[in-house]
Amino acid sequence: MKDLMRLRSLLGTEVEALLNNQIKMEAYNSSVYLAMASWCDRNGFDYSADHFYKQAEDEREHMLRFFKYVSDMGGTAVSPSVDGIPQEFESFREVFESALELEVKTTQAINNIADKCYKEKDHVTVEFLNWFHKEQREEEYVARRCLELFEVIGEEGTGRWEIDKAIPSVSYGNE
């Protein structure tokens, strides 16, 4: 019976720790996007604010996916505390630069978990992570496209106003 206790969790200790880090990262991302929505709202970029509110919701959903997975696998899902959320941004453009940076870091973190899973032969978690690899491909695509609008449209004159208006039309594969 004692041996059964060790089978309580299907997750290795290190994979479980990485997944808990990811729960924290997704919660952090959600809060950063909320701060970006607030910044856009108070600076008159309504469409971008809506975009970031939606991103904040998506990140919370990601957080919950990881959270429920750890729990379902018999691990201990740790409810995340987040701090150090930037509330101010230098410019409209910097908000979108930071968003892309956030997504690139997230992709790297998820790749890092997958590397560990391959090493540990944890194919179950590898399969779980596949959804996130595809999601990150879309998230990075959208973040890059949004940032490209600053080059394509330009910030002069009514440029920023035009960029803001174009944000809702950015989507992955026009889905």
Nearer to Fe ion, 59 or 164 (CB): 59
Which of 81, 38, 30, 83 lies closest to 59 in space, CA to CA? 30
End-to-end CA distance of the chain: 52
* Contacting Fe ion within 75-114 (CB under 5 A): none
Only segment of 14-22, 52-60, 89-97, 149-157 that touches Fe ion (CB under 5 A) = 52-60
Q: Is 136 annotated as a binding residue?
A: yes
Neighbouring C-beta atoms of residue 152, cutoff 10 Å: 10
Q: Is 135 annotated as a binding residue?
A: no
Which residue bears the tokens 């490209």?
148
Query: In sequence order, which residues have a C-beta less than 8 Å from that of residue 86 and are 6 or more positions away?
Result: 32, 35, 98
Q: Which residue's CB atom is positioned nearest to Fe ion?
A: 62
Interaction of residue 62 with Fe ion, rule CB under 5 A: yes
Q: Is 108 annotated as a binding residue?
A: no
Nearer to Fe ion, 103 or 160 (CB): 103
Q: Is 26 annotated as a binding residue?
A: yes
Separate counts of helices (H) and strands (E) for the chain? 6, 0
Pick from 75, 117, 125, 139 the residue near Fe ion by CB under 5 A: 139
Q: Which residues are annotated as part of the binding site?
A: 26, 59, 62, 103, 136
Residues forming the site for Fe ion (CB under 5 A): 26, 59, 62, 139
